[in-house]
């Protein structure tokens, strides 16, 4: 395996540290070629989008895409002839119901309960993902569930679920004599903060590491909470063991990545008024600094509304800086929030008079120059007698 292909595994703290690790890793993989393709394997689409925003802000956004691991598997098998139909949620739920009815037994009295369907569906998904094999004696209800699971697997045998999709992708990567063309355009892989890895996920990532650089970062919480670190630790160990098994030994141990922490400044002031003014001066410096920070990316947080609320608002106003404050209220309690909720409720209430007037009363501006109370009186009065048209 070429040196630049050697996979890396690190542990990072979520937040700024993880974002900085992604930025540095993408820059290292691109080296002197900003157009070199890099694929971010994100835990969800929102995290992938956020990571790309960070890269766009720091200038490393070109030819970087974000995908889920299931999307990568789909891309790998896209060049193969279709072997199975996809297992849709509707088919999956139908198979659960059919398996319950076919098994009968102690499950018969509950066969029509949707709660049983949902519970068994979650159990069957977990059994397939974890590749669990039960041995030894179990309770009667557990045995009924396992026997129903056997029937369920027979019913879905000709369909491909997410686990089967990853298996097919892994098989293709392992059996290929050259890098699959569907993989070329994805470039290097940066896997970050994956909440959990199933056995098939570890095998897929190890197979990807045969053909492309793979950098993986798993969450590391430094508060000593073993429960919070359990799944990330399991995922990191699983990926490392799969790499060892296939000969792709990771070059980085499972230590915590060293990333510079965000800058923190401590201000000591004689009173709250001077403290507020010093915060405003810091905002002004950030606005005009060598790396300007826009106002919409700044926030002033305080624990006590009195006296900090009025002081901060007055200081921002005197400095000529625009500001927006919730003043301790939720967004739904603000006037724009109430107006939006009232507008959405109009159709739900079939354009009832009270629903329409609720929006008029909460609207940010008066309607046709009249306050909401005037519209209430007009709607109660009805059409003027003698008027036509």
pLDDT digits (tens, 9 = 90+) for 95-137: 999 999 888 888 888 888 888 888 999 999 888 888 877 776 7
What is the β-pairing status of strands 85-86 and 188-192? unpaired
pLDDT at 3 over 50: no
For 288-314, write each residue's pLDDT tens digit: 877 788 888 888 988 888 888 888 888
pLDDT at 319 over 50: yes
pLDDT at 383: 54
Q: Partners of 370 in the beta sheet?
A: 367
pLDDT at 180: 86
Q: How far apart are CA 186 and CA 132, in angstroms?
A: 32
The band of 376, judged by pLDDT with boundaries at 50, 70 and 90, is low
In contact, 187 and 212? CB cutoff 8 Å: yes
3-state secondary structure of 351: coil
Q: Partners of 155 in the beta sheet?
A: none
Mean pLDDT over the full length of the chain: 82
Burial degree of 5 (CB within 10 A; 0-12, 13-18, 19+): middle
3-state secondary structure of 228: helix
pLDDT (mean) for 347-370:
74
In contact, 66 and 45? CB cutoff 8 Å: yes
On the CB side of 86, how many CA atoms lie within 13 Å of its CA?
A: 9
Q: How far apart are CA 34 and CA 28, in angstroms?
A: 10
Q: Does residue 307 have a cis peptide bond before it, meaning omega lies within 30 degrees of 0?
A: yes
Q: How far apart are CA 168 and CA 81, in angstroms?
A: 11
pLDDT (mean) for 188-213:
91
- Specify the higher pLDDT residue, 315 or 361: 315
pLDDT at 318 over 70: yes
Query: What share of the chain has pLDDT > 90, as a percent?
Result: 17
Lowest mean pLDDT among 95-104, 120-129, 190-199, 217-226: 217-226
**How much helix, strand and coil, in percent to the nearest 5, is found in the chain?**
55, 10, 35
pLDDT (mean) for 170-183:
88
pLDDT (mean) for 230-242:
88
Using alpha carbons only, how large is the chain's radius of gyration in Å? 29
pLDDT at 13: 85
Of the candidates 77, 287, 294, 255, the one whose C-alpha atom is nearest the C-alpha of residue 171 is 77
pLDDT at 217: 92
pLDDT at 260 over 70: no
pLDDT (mean) for 13-17:
83
Query: What are the structural domain ranges in the chain?
Result: 3-79+167-246, 88-155, 272-318, 334-381
The band of 371, judged by pLDDT with boundaries at 50, 70 and 90, is low
Structural fold of domain 3-79+167-246 = Rossmann fold (3.40.50)
pLDDT at 273: 87
In contact, 194 and 69? CB cutoff 8 Å: yes
For 57-88, write each residue's pLDDT tens digit: 876 788 899 999 999 998 888 877 767 788 88
The band of 40, judged by pLDDT with boundaries at 50, 70 and 90, is very high
The band of 247, judged by pLDDT with boundaries at 50, 70 and 90, is confident
pLDDT at 68: 93
pLDDT at 345 over 60: yes
pLDDT at 385: 42
pLDDT (mean) for 161-189:
89
pLDDT at 185 over 50: yes
3-state secondary structure of 247: coil
In contact, 256 and 21? CB cutoff 8 Å: no
pLDDT at 360: 78
pLDDT at 269: 85
Q: How far apart are CA 234 and CA 113, in angstroms?
A: 35
Lowest mean pLDDT among 61-65, 145-149, 318-322, 326-330: 326-330
pLDDT at 236 over 60: yes
């Amino acid at each position: 395996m070429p040196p630049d292909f050697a996979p890396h595994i690190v542990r990072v703290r979520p937040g700024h540290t993880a974002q900085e690790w992604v930025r540095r890793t993408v820059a290292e993989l691109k080296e002197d070629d900003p157009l070199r393709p890099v694929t971010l394997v994100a835990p969800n689409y929102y995290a992938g989008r956020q990571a790309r925003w960070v890269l766009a802000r720091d200038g490393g956004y070109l030819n970087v895409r974000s995908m889920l691991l299931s999307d990568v598997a789909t891309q790998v098998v896209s060049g193969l002839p279709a072997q199975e139909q996809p297992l849709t949620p509707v088919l999956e739920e139908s198979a659960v119901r059919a398996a319950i009815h076919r098994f009968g037994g102690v499950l018969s009295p509950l066969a029509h309960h949707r709660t049983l369907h949902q519970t068994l569906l979650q159990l069957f998904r977990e059994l397939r993902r974890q590749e669990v094999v039960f041995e030894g004696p179990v309770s009667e209800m557990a045995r009924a569930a396992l026997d129903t699971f056997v029937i369920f697997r027979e019913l879905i045998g000709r369909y491909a679920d997410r686990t089967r999709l990853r298996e097919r992708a892994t098989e293709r990567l392992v059996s290929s004599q050259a890098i699959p063309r569907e993989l070329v355009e994805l470039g290097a892989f940066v896997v970050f903060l994956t909440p959990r890895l199933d056995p098939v996920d570890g095998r897929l990532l190890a197979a990807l590491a045969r053909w492309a650089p793979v950098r993986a970062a798993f969450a590391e919480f430094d508060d000593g909470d073993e429960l919070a670190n359990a799944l990330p630790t399991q995922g990191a160990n699983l990926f490392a063991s799969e790499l060892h098994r296939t000969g792709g030994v990771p070059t980085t141990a499972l230590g915590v990545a060293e990333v510079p922490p965000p800058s923190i400044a401590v201000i000591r002031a004689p009173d709250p008024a001077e403290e507020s003014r010093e915060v405003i001066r810091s905002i002004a410096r950030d606005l005009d600094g060598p790396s300007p920070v826009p106002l919409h990316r700044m926030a002033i947080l305080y624990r006590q509304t009195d006296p900090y609320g009025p002081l901060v608002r007055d200081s921002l106003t005197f400095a000529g800086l625009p500001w927006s404050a919730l003043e301790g209220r939720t967004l739904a309690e603000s006037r724009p929030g109430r107006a939006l909720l009232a507008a959405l409720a109009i159709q739900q209430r079939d354009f009832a008079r009270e629903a329409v007037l609720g929006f008029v009363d909460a609207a940010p501006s008066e309607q046709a120059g009249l306050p909401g109370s005037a519209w209430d009186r007009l709607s109660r009065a009805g059409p003027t007698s003698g008027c036509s048209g």
